[in-house]
Chains A and B, each alone.
Chain A
Amino acid sequence: MDLKELYQEIILDHGKNPRNKKKCDGFNKDAKGNNPLCGDKVHVFLKLNEEKQVVDISFEGEGCAISIASASIMTEIIKGKDFNVAKKILENFINMLKEGSKLSINSLSDKENTTIMSLSGVKQFPMRVKCATLAWHTFLHAVEDNKKVVNTEK
């Protein structure tokens, strides 16, 4: 277990300067996530068009570097993608953190791949997986209009 693998430059950058941390204009879906034991909170907003394309996505929230960076990275990667692709990325991402499996998405650009892979070190810190997955599960709830608050501590 190496701290440098967990706190990579990309993560620190996204943690300190999160992208899309606002309510995006004209959002038509949103959902909340809350990990009450540690206090991480996220609110994901997205604009989904009729073709189920994620036209815009943003988040608000508070939490540790991992949870904020993961939410920020998620918005960067998912913005503009079709929901089906986004869902595939999400499933891949969660499997990577939980099972240690490799990403099997071909459609990601090299930059996107590097960015999402910066979170792969989290799998070595089981206590922190819940931080990294909170925003992603919340995104899914938003698309599905699931009003139940997401909790990844369970």
Chain B
Amino acid sequence: MDIKEIKSKFPIFSNKVKGKKLVYLDSANSSQKPKVVIDRISNFYSKEFSNVGRSMHSLAVTATNRFEETRDLIKNFINAKFREEIVFTKNATEGINLIATTYGEKFIQDKDEIIITELEHHANYVPWHFLRKRKGAVIKFAECDKQGEVSIDSIKKLITNKTKLIAVTHVSNVTGTILPLNKIIDLAKTKKIPVLIDGCQGAPHLKLDVQKLDCDFYVMSCHKMYGPTGVGVLYAKKKWLEELPPYQGGGGMIDEVKKDDISFPESPTKFEAGTLQTAEIVGFAESIRFIENIGIKNITQHEKEITEYGLEKLKKNNSVSIIGDPKERGAILSFTIKGIHPHDIATILDDDGVAIRAGHHCCQILHEKMGIPATARASLGIYNSKEDIDILNESINKCNKVFNN
């Protein structure tokens, strides 16, 4: 694979940051966008735009077809059984909120239990907290160990006959831990407990087959998948989408509206109220094609290689402590430097054009557990190379120089 050639497809890398070459190590936060995606949005607005699924004119037909084409591409990308199982949301957060609200409304009673893990992003905790406040649900946290692993036993021991849902991340956005989803879902099946996967850090990097995985819900964030902001995907098994009530009310999601009652159509229409991010959804089709042209397995392999190189390099750097040591790690390297706060690290790295994220990464529960208020995080995408890691390492050495360590 020619990474230089792939990188050249991203216009952002032709810009300098503070006069330096951009070393982008913040893809877990949001990935950069290839030109095909940027151009597609622009072309769509220039040549094909109109609102979808409503008007009868030619433009509306074209726009609707393009829009629905993305749904088909996603269905194939994750190997869903039906296209109706793909619901567009504004982001992954909204996908989880949609399930927490609708599933919560219908199936959660006082004292019912929801299991999440200590690794979860706030997006997979706060929506359940609302349910705790609203319906008296109990949230149980499966513990993660020092390596950043969540064992199947730590989930198993929390399950009771009150457990109504297990919601876990696919890959931790801090420790990079890839969770044992197959084991978790197998366990949940034996107890007939539905499972929701927060796939934000999984879908851009790992081969996905939701039928094989057999999860009930899987949410994705398109802007982390070389796609536009403002679009998320909720995959849900058809039986759930049939059973769950609508989420938001408005135009487009109705069947018949009378003064005394309203009926609703089937999924996905039922869950897509109002005009969605039409151009972005059309643009996202190009992101999927971009990923598929490279091959998701090639992406996994390349990122694994760079991650391992990074781990090796940073482990040799005595001032650096790597956060977590999971057996299976995604494309994420979080670290701390002795005596230097992560925000200061981020500022100094930025001076070299190295973009990382510093803070608690929306994982305060995990940081509290680890006893550190913040970490610095380098996260990878397909455009990263070993050279980026070398520059990162040099820049880390500069942090020590600036701080006289």
Interface residues, chain A, with chain B CB atoms under 8 Å away? 1, 3-4, 6-7, 12, 16, 37-41, 62-66, 68, 125, 127-128, 131
Contact = CB atoms under 8 A, between A and B. Distances in A.
A127 B348 CA distance: 12
B178 interface: no
Interface of B: 18, 339-344, 347-348, 351, 358-360, 364, 367, 373-374, 402-404
B397 to A, nearest CB: 14
Of the candidates A65, A66, A131, the one having the most CB atoms from chain B within 10 angstroms of its own CB is: A65
B374 A38 contact: yes
Contacts of B340: 65
Contacts of B373: 39, 41, 62-63
Given A3-B402, A16-B339, A63-B341, A125 B358 contact: no
B351 A1 contact: yes
B341 A65 contact: yes
B341 to A, nearest CB: 4
Contacts of A65: 340-341, 344, 403
Nearest to A68: B341
A38 B339 contact: no
Contacts of B347: 3, 6, 125, 127-128
13 contacts: A3-B348, A7-B348, A16-B339, A37-B359, A39-B359, A39-B367, A39-B373, A41-B373, A64-B342, A64-B344, A65-B344, A66-B343, A127-B347
A38 B344 contact: no
A107 B307 CA distance: 55
Contacts of A39: 359-360, 364, 367, 373-374
A25 B105 CA distance: 52
B343 A128 contact: yes
Contacts of A7: 344, 348, 402-403
Contacts of B404: 12
A8 B85 CA distance: 57
Nearest to A40: B343
A63 B374 CA distance: 9
A89 to B, nearest CB: 25
Contacts of B367: 39
Contacts of B18: 1
A62 B342 CA distance: 12
A38 B351 contact: no
B315 to A, nearest CB: 25
Contacts of B343: 38, 40, 63-64, 66, 128, 131
Nearest to A6: B347
B374 A66 contact: no
Contacts of B359: 37-39
Contacts of A40: 343
Nearest to A125: B347
Nearest to B18: A1
Contacts of B403: 7, 12, 65
Given A39-B359, A39-B374, A62-B373, A3 B341 contact: no
